[in-house]
Amino acid sequence: MNAILAQMPVPVAIFKGPDHVYEFANRLHDEVMGRTNVIGKAFREVYPELVGTPILDAFDHVYRTGEPFTADEFSIPLLRAGKKTEAIFKFAIEPMRSETGTPVGLLTVGTEVTEQVLARWDLGAALNAQKQTETLRERMLAIVGHDLRNPLSTVTVSAHMLLKQESLTPAQTKIARRILTSSERMARMISEILDFAQGHMGGGIPITRALLNLHDIASQVVDELGVVYPDKTILLAVDGDGKGHWDADRMAQMVTNLVVHALQYAARDTPVTVTIQGLDARGDGGAGSGNEDWVLLEVTHRGPPIPAEVLPYVFDPFLRATEGGNASRPLRGLGLALYIVDEIVRAHGGRVDVRSDPEETTLSARVPRTEPSAV
């Protein structure tokens, strides 16, 4: 049997008697345990550093009771090359008995898993640190966003008041308009920060439902963005019933974020198309069945496709658009717009989707007309 055990690809040893005297140890056992010439010596003599440790308690318990012992991660403070090392083993101790059932020895089989376990611990520590960092970042964003609102409001109001002054020169008017535009953009960014923090820390974005028409909201948003982006073309097509019980401000924010995202990505001299379609429970535009009705909003643009590896993460926070697909030229913004779209749609009981190919990219939001739990 010893010849067979000697060829086993794991450390194996046989001990005899209550003092656990080495009767056999294969080459791997000697290499892993860092000892040689152990045959005929008691375990305590070979490993004095292990006296009083759980490994000897385990040996004694198995020999005394005849109950096998196994452990997936058993820590042993071994002395290797004169240095104490914490080694971790996947380990088994089997009792050996005489023909009469009397304990006569132990068979041990094990393999060292120190590197694997430490790697897992390091990964766990890294993930925990990452989680703590993300939590701190979210709290800081919420605090900073909240504290910036008041001074920014002062800047915005002051810019408005300056623009009402008839005594301003053209150069001064241009500066005042630039201040106003910048402050309004900062206000939108702060709003995104607060929405992100609320979505992550407060259980989602709150909404207040009221009966409204998504056709009207989209039309207003398209008109407003047409003024902001005079060199862009935004087309709006509606079909079916656009009415539903939603939060008016949040739905306008959803449409705005989707359209602005498309405008940033769209190829030059190509339109952005906004399509709204009333759907019933079957998914078509026919007569619906009350609470099962949905409305589908799609925003389509032509331009570089979204890489396949990025598609699953399009609605994740802090994923920023790039100009012309060039990662070295990120567009302005925090990368929160589509994340907030997802949060708004989820708050309404709906879902978002994205399709992208070399011809065009479509971002869609599908929302029920009423709260899903309503009857």
Residue 84's pLDDT is 78
Residues 165 and 299 in one domain: no
pLDDT per position as a tens digit, 21-45: 999 989 888 888 888 889 999 998 9
Q: What are phi and psi of 86, to 5 degrees?
A: -85, 105
Share of the chain above pLDDT 70, in %: 78
Pick the more confident residue, 332 or 354.
354
Strand, coil or helix: 362 = strand
End position of a domain, from candidates 201, 224, 242: 201
Q: Determine, yes or no, domain membership for 244.
A: yes
Residue 103: in which H helix or E strand, if any? strand 103-112
Q: Determine, yes or no, domain membership for 77.
A: yes
Residues 260 and 278 in one domain: yes
Q: Determine, yes or no, domain membership for 31.
A: yes
Residues 221 and 318 in one domain: yes
Token representation of residue 287:
């007569």
Residue 264's CB is within 10 A of a number of other CB atoms, namely 19
pLDDT per position as a tens digit, 280-338: 655 455 444 444 589 999 999 999 999 998 899 899 876 654 544 444 344 445 577 89
Residue 338 has, within 13 A of its CA and on its CB side, a CA count of 22
Residue 277's CB is within 10 A of a number of other CB atoms, namely 19
CA distance 111 to 103: 25
Domain range for 267 is: 210-368
Residues 232 and 334 in one domain: yes
Q: Where are the beta strands (DSSP E) in 116-239?
A: 210-213, 234-239
Across 171-175, 255-259, 365-369, least confident range: 171-175
Residue 149's pLDDT is 60
Cβ–Cβ < 8 Å for 278, 216: no
pLDDT per position as a tens digit, 196-242: 666 665 567 788 899 999 999 999 999 988 877 888 999 999 999 99
Residue 323's pLDDT is 45
Asked whether residue 132 carries a pLDDT value surpassing 90, the answer given is no
Q: Determine, yes or no, domain membership for 374.
A: no
Residue 53's pLDDT is 83
CA-angle at 318, arms to 316 and 319, nearest 5°: 65
Share of the chain above pLDDT 90, in %: 35
Residues 220 and 327 in one domain: yes
Residue 370's pLDDT is 87
Residue 256's CB is within 10 A of a number of other CB atoms, namely 21
Token pair 């403070």: residue: 77
End position of a domain, from candidates 171, 201, 231: 201
Q: Determine, yes or no, domain membership for 347.
A: yes
Q: Determine, yes or no, domain membership for 125.
A: no
Q: Determine, yes or no, domain membership for 311.
A: yes
CA distances from 351 to 92, 121, 257, 261 (A): 51, 37, 15, 18
Q: Determine, yes or no, domain membership for 155.
A: yes
**What's the domain count of the chain?**
3
